[in-house]
A and B are shown apart, each in its own frame.
Chain A
């Protein structure tokens, strides 16, 4: 009996401490301390991990490590440069209506089709997966699972056998067809139907065929697609309508990654779908990692893909990256990290504290922890606090290819329209809203004021005197300086609203800002907006509603002023200027031009610019487009956000990039250094427990004494 008690105590202590000599507060299993495993987190479970569906950042951060589209972005080069991934750079041939080849510099009007011939790198194999396992007679072992086989299957790792095969051009074509699969609602299907020849027709054909067949696997292979044809095992051709140079960027996205038909066949089994084992949750790729575990309710684990064809760390980098030591591993084989564990962490405070304890290797900077982590130097530059430096925490910052703006509905009779008075009213507001102050107050300095439509880092963006918005800013010799409020007030007079009152009737000018929330946290933000408008005597009324209604108002053109943003799909100016293209207006056309801005000259220049190569001529057109947008002021150009990320010193090769997500393979850990730091930082402090016990005794003793006295009194 005595031994039993001892064993129970040992067992409990083992369970509590992990039995591996690790700190008591380690959230990981015993023995994991020295492993080459990166620990990261997710706060919201991804909706989809199917490459035809995934479009959100949290999804792309996962699947880009698994799937290999034909191209990828160079890890270090700026501006963003496409390089081969699973295929060589495509060979592009322009063709006329009769499909005759045209020279590279052919007039865009003559180009009826663009052929992208893509040649795969031979020898690339998929990850080991049960979908590929064959029987002796050539069938597939797991394509028709019986109930007794399914009984013990809970995850994809429960299949005893796995196999792989070489990826082929057919897999890439299969994925392009999947964009219009009747059961898959790819977010890019509508866009791609405009460009890929025959995709629209294929969608209708597939819909009809799917309606006729019983539920289950729907084989896309028998249905040809004119715009995507297999040339041989390693070559395929995509035919685009007209000229669309931005298509090359799409080839670096997972929408164009290969999906083997065997995987679709395997995952179409009802027994697996019931267990949440589907292609949407367990990807099948050829990239550096494979999905070992996917429990979106708790954690997701990526494991090094043993079949990865191999890739090497880049050997070229800009001077600042060289200086930052980002070429220390140049030429070495990647990936460096064996395993990546993403853990569900819904709240920022526990996440931050675990980062400080060394249990997460990197962290963002939330507003709760900002002051603890970041301080600003006398020159206004963000730097780490002494506490963070003492822990050898590093700070990485990057301006995102995004733009936030306060939009005016150009259909609105008060702030919209193209008359000089309306334009001056919008310009006056643009000057009055002090976005430098906004960035300081609401973003903790994490952003830069926007000078136009384009985000930094893109072709055509300029950060010198030539790149400022001359209607709102002046160049003081070193940086842009917002024009004085007097200029804005003068514009108000010229617009017919001196001191914010209608010059004709004397009524105060009341404007309405539609916003999609209205929680307590937004109160200070809305007050700030009101204050900015009040500088010009304008009364701003904030109309808050839920995001659904807000979107509806924008779609219907019922909003007057709104705040919105855009994050680039790909690093090309076209992907920003299309937000003001007339054909892309929200009202009537359902596009992304939420301000419903219509300017024939802007549209003409945009249509000329969008399909051009990056030439000086294109640069000049971009400058003209910027000028028109700044002049007409359909937006108050607000800011470009800046990402701040922290990481421990043992975690290296981090180059913040918000366009390419497949960079896990380049990152590197020093597990021994991490284990030592964790052990040093996480010594348990036990004495307060003993103190608590003493206090408890002190508290109970008088009670016990009172009880004894009472009993004695009764006896007496």
Chain B
């Protein structure tokens, strides 16, 4: 397994370089270094000299990929791409274009994101699996039919509606929790209840349908019939056998998401004023802050690779027959 993990990690290197290259290309297709400088320097009284000075100080006055004026390896080395990529690959994110330390900002902003996303994910998966098992348990009854109708309705509603509707009903009409905001420590509880609740409820429709499909497939298999024939109750069959055998597809969907819990949710964090990472990248794109954009995209790619690895490892835990080689 160790060899497998090392091999997978080595595969990740060209993948991350590719992602970095793609981010670089996409960003500079839309924004030139001049645009970035003008965005940072403001709209008034900006001269070309000031733009050139800003670019020079941040190394944006170099060619993008190939430096004709340089010699030897410096053809590649004296370029924006190389200069900006080397530190990135070593997780030295440096400073944003407004001068803030990016690692510091990420460390600060990831905790509020985690405060929302971890409970939402745990409660969401628990509720969805429980409801899906119940639906399977009551299959071929009116409950299953109306549950599915309800699920289709729930999954057809946009997440924005859940957020605004939830804020309107629970925070504005019933006045049970604050509409938005955040606080450190225990004070955060009253702020995160509503976004977590909305996160869980908004995921029920699609989640229950998906888990139900997995469980139904398992429920029709021979070992289930055998278990029943041996006299096990439906509850025992579902929770002890069906759930366990359905873990592989469940893990595929769940474990890969774990690293992304750090990245937060743009909509939820915007509407609830949660100072997390969800809006960090979008704000940076709007401000044309390339330092943050490339750092966050790179971090996202690394987390994705880690997520896939964790999924593979989790297979071996869920099913001893699986061997990573």
Contact = CB atoms under 8 A, between A and B. Distances in A.
Interface of A: 11-12, 14-18, 23-27, 29, 44-45, 47-48, 55-56, 183, 185, 187-191, 273-276, 278, 280-281, 295-298, 343-347, 349-351, 353-354, 357, 359, 546, 548, 551, 569, 590, 592, 682-686, 688-689, 702-703, 706-707, 710-711
Contacts of A350: 167, 179-180, 271-273
Given A15-B187, A16-B193, A187-B45, 10 more contacts: A15-B189, A24-B177, A187-B42, A190-B50, A346-B270, A346-B279, A351-B180, A357-B179, A548-B38, A710-B234
B138 interface: yes
B181 interface: yes
B231 to A, nearest CB: 10
B108 A29 contact: no
A281 B172 CA distance: 35
Contacts of B182: 298
Interface stretch (B60-68, B96-104, B218-226, B304-312): B96-104
A29 B100 contact: no
A187 B275 contact: no
Most B Cβ at <10 Å: residue of A17, A47, A189: A47
B47 interface: yes
A25 B167 contact: no
B114 to A, nearest CB: 14
16 contacts: A24-B190, A25-B176, A185-B54, A187-B41, A189-B50, A298-B182, A345-B180, A347-B273, A353-B179, A357-B172, A548-B288, A683-B175, A684-B176, A685-B175, A686-B174, A703-B143
A185 B179 contact: no
A24 B105 contact: no
B1 interface: no
Contacts of A359: 178
A145 to B, nearest CB: 16
B189 A16 contact: yes
Contacts of B321: none
A185 B60 CA distance: 15
Interface string B42-80: 101111111001100100000000000000000000000
A520 to B, nearest CB: 14
A297 B45 CA distance: 29
Q: Which 9 residue pairs of A and B lie closest in terms of their CB atoms, listed nearest first?
A: A27-B181, A298-B275, A27-B178, A548-B35, A350-B180, A297-B275, A15-B186, A15-B189, A190-B47
Given A297-B105, A344-B273, A353-B179, A548 B30 contact: yes
B10 to A, nearest CB: 32
A703 B46 contact: no
Given A345-B180, A357-B179, A274 B54 contact: no
A703 B180 contact: no
B283 interface: yes
Interface residues of B, number: 65
B32 interface: yes
Q: Chain A contact residues: over half helix, strand or loop, or mixed?
A: loop
B157 interface: no
A273 B101 contact: yes
Contacts, number: 163
A29 B179 contact: no
B31 A548 contact: yes
A546 B38 CA distance: 14
Contact of A47 (B98, B171, B234): B98
B172 A24 contact: no
Given A55-B42, A353-B171, A276 B104 contact: yes
B109 A297 contact: yes
A710 B275 CA distance: 50
Nearest to A190: B47
A11 B143 CA distance: 39
B187 A274 contact: no
Given A190-B50, A346-B270, A56 B175 contact: no
Contacts of A353: 167-168, 171-172, 179
A274 to B, nearest CB: 5
Contacts of A14: 186
A343 B101 contact: no
Contacts of A298: 112, 182, 275
Nearest to B137: A707
Given A27-B179, A297-B275, A703 B138 contact: yes
Given A297-B108, A684-B175, A345 B283 contact: no
B215 interface: no
Nearest to A183: B57
Interface in B178-230: 178-183, 186-187, 189-191, 193
